[in-house]
Amino acid sequence: MYVEMRHINKTFDGFRASDDVNFGIERGQLAALLGPSGSGKTTILRMIAGLDKPDSGDILIDETRVNDLPGSKRGIGFVFQNYALFRYMTVEENIAFGLKVQKKSRQEITYRVEELLELISMKDLGRRYPHQLSGGQRQRVAFARALAPSPQLLLLDEPFAAIDAKVRRELRTWLKDMIDRVKITSIFVTHDQEEAMEVAGTIILTNQGRIEQIGTPEEICKNPKTEFVADFIDVKLGTGHF
């Protein structure tokens, strides 16, 4: 297992946001944290990234317990729900930020930024500021920025939530291709089961702070373990975009 959560509990002012969360993800997998709003998906992602601390339980990355390791030392790239691009920096500066902090040489930084701009097909837009970009372009910049310091694990919180339905489908395929290409273990949060089915190799279904089921999309569709899973998948399919 590359990422492992063992008996994780987390409460906010007495509210159980994570209730004995257990799961593991293999290296190179693309996993989706799927569940209704408020079911604790973001909380899980933030704990893996070290932005929140669990009350109890162990978080393991690459077989080492990282509970007491600051987020910046966990080898993680994080794409925030609203991208959180640095608005007073250009696209290039955004991507270069993590490398600068690591005191990489100027040459190395320039090279890496070029490479990533090419990867996200935004070579000519490097000098623009975030507010001069479309939602989809911002999302791609956020992706490149997270990848710049070459993390081992990529976490994405609702990467498509702020994008309208048409573009969303394109970006979904794009992101899947990208992740396949750079071969990075990834976890992304979504409350759209169609999205999870289409993109993820593994789905982790959350409900009220608990994990309801883990499995491939087919497993979950064919063998829903609990009533909630069956309902969630069914209801969503019934009213889905098909």
Partner 1 sequence: MSEKKKKSFEQDITGDGINSIKKVVETHNAASDGAIKYVLIGVCVVFLFVMLVLPLAVVAVNALKEGWAAYREAVSDEYTIKAFKLTLIAMVTATVVNTIFGIFASYLLSKFYFRGRELLASLIDIPLSISPVIAGLVFILTFGNIGWMGDFLKSHDIKIVFAVPGVILATIFVTFPFVFREIFPVMNAQGKEEEEAASLMGAGGFTIFLRITFPHMKWALLYGVILCAARAMGEFGAVSVISGHLRGKTNTLPLHVEILYNEFNTTAAFAVSSILVLLALLILAARNIVEWKAETKQKQT
Tell me if 54 contacts ligand ATP by CB under 6 A.
Answer: no
Among 69, 119, 161, 237, binds partner 1 (CB under 8 A): 161
Tell me if 54 contacts partner 1 by CB under 8 A.
Answer: no
Tell me if 191 contacts ligand ATP by CB under 6 A.
Answer: yes
Among 11, 22, 56, 102, binds partner 1 (CB under 8 A): 102
Binding to partner 1 by CB under 8 A, coded x per residue (else -) over 55-84, reads: ----------------xxx--x-x-x-x-x
Tell me if 12 contacts ligand ATP by CB under 6 A.
Answer: yes
Tell me if 50 contacts ligand ATP by CB under 6 A.
Answer: no
Near Mg ion by CB under 5 A, which window of 34-42, 55-63, 113-121, 217-225? Answer: 34-42
Near partner 1 by CB under 8 A, which window of 21-29, 48-56, 184-192, 225-233? Answer: 48-56
Among 101, 123, 170, 177, binds partner 1 (CB under 8 A): 101
Tell me if 42 contacts Mg ion by CB under 5 A.
Answer: yes
Considering beta carbons, is residue 46 or 145 the nearer one to Mg ion? 46
The three-state DSSP-derived secondary structure of the chain is CCEEEEEEEEEECCEEEEEEEEEEECCCCEEEEECCCCCCHHHHHHHHHCCCCCCEEEEEECCEECCCCCHHHCCEEEECCCCCCCCCCCHHHHHHHHHHHCCCCHHHHHHHHHHHHHHCCCHHHCCCCHHHCCHHHHHHHHHHHHHCCCCCEEEEECCCCCCCHHHHHHHHHHHHHHHHHHCCEEEEEECCHHHHHHHCCEEEEEECCEEEEEECHHHHHHCCCCHHHHHHHHHHHHCCCC
Short-list 6, 178, 5, CA closest to 79: 178
Q: Give me the residues that bind partner 1 (CB under 8 A), please.
A: 49-51, 71-73, 76, 78, 80, 82, 84-89, 97-98, 101-102, 129, 131, 145, 149, 161-162
